[in-house]
């Protein structure tokens, strides 16, 4: 990913805007737990998506901003934190040698969401991607990584702290930048999301008003 934070945020907002018209309610089943990526997220708030916006719509944007932040932190790490980059590279190489992981390589809109659609009652799945993703780590056939000395561990921890600090800094810049895009984000929500949510609520209301649901009183 090339360019400044400004251009990257703008580019990912563009991508999100291209995706929003394809959003439909109920594309994803409701979650039993709160999404750690979106709940209370300063990014979702900075984009003006914190209230009355379906989670899938928030999630798609927050994952795209996470891409921007992760890419910046990766570059910073590559440039300035040699020990940490080496550890990450070794870790990647170990991971690459293992098996298929259904939760990886997904489009940002789908990351962190449930992997499987709800099963039809008459046609249960033989196995699900969720089970596959949660399956035990395959036995690593590679030799174990060399033991690090206490000094090396301390040095890596110090670099990790720098990377964390940098991630916070980039996160703040992304939030500041998102504020510049609030208007077009808001326009897309009014145009593509709100009418669908309203239609859904109207359907629900007319279902409740129907003679099948006699009003009490
Ligand atoms: Zn989310």
pLDDT, tens digit, 9 for 90 and up, residues 44-101 = 999 999 999 999 999 999 999 999 999 999 999 999 999 999 999 998 888 787 766 7
Within a domain: 105: yes
CA of 129 from ligand 1 middle (Å) equals 19
CA of 121 from ligand 1 middle (Å) equals 27
Domains identified in the chain, total number: 1
What long-range pairs does 67-75 form, CB within 8 A, spacing at least 24?
A: 67/1, 67/12, 67/108, 68/1, 68/5, 68/8, 68/9, 68/12, 68/170, 68/174, 69/167, 69/170, 69/171, 69/174, 71/1, 71/8, 72/5, 72/8, 72/166, 72/170, 73/163, 73/166, 73/167, 73/170
pLDDT of 110 above 90: no
CA of 211 from ligand 1 middle (Å) equals 38
Residue-level pLDDT at 108: 79
CA of 39 from ligand 1 middle (Å) equals 7
Structural domain that includes position 183: 5-28+35-120+127-137+148-209
pLDDT of 143 above 80: no
pLDDT, tens digit, 9 for 90 and up, residues 3-26 = 799 999 999 999 999 999 999 987
pLDDT band at 217 (very low <50, low <70, confident <90, very high): very low
Mean pLDDT score, 210-215: 64
Share of the chain above pLDDT 70, in %: 84
CA of 8 from ligand 1 middle (Å) equals 20
Residue-level pLDDT at 117: 73
């Amino acid at each position: 990913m090339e360019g400044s934070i400004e251009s990257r945020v703008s580019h990912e907002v563009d991508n999100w805007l291209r995706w929003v018209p394809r959003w439909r309610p109920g594309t994803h089943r409701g979650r039993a737990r709160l999404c750690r990526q979106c709940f209370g997220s300063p990014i979702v708030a900075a984009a003006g998506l914190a209230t009355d916006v379906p989670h899938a719509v928030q999630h798609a944007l927050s994952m795209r901003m996470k891409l921007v932040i992760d890419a910046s932190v990766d570059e910073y790490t590559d440039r300035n934190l040699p020990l940490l980059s080496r550890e990450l590279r070794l870790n990647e190489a170990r991971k690459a040698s293992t098996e298929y992981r259904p939760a990886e390589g997904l489009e940002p809109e789908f990351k962190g969401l449930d992997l499987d659609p709800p099963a039809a009652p008459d046609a249960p799945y033989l196995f699900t991607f969720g089970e596959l993703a949660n399956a035990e780590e395959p036995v690593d056939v590679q030799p174990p990584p060399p033991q690090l000395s206490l000094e090396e561990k301390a040095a890596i921890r110090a670099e990790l702290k720098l990377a964390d600090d940098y991630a916070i800094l980039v996160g703040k810049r992304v939030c500041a930048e998102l504020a510049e895009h609030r208007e077009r984000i808001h326009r897309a929500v009014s145009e593509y999301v709100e009418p669908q949510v309203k239609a859904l609520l109207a359907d629900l209301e007319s279902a409740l008003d129907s003679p099948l649901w006699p009003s009490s009183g």
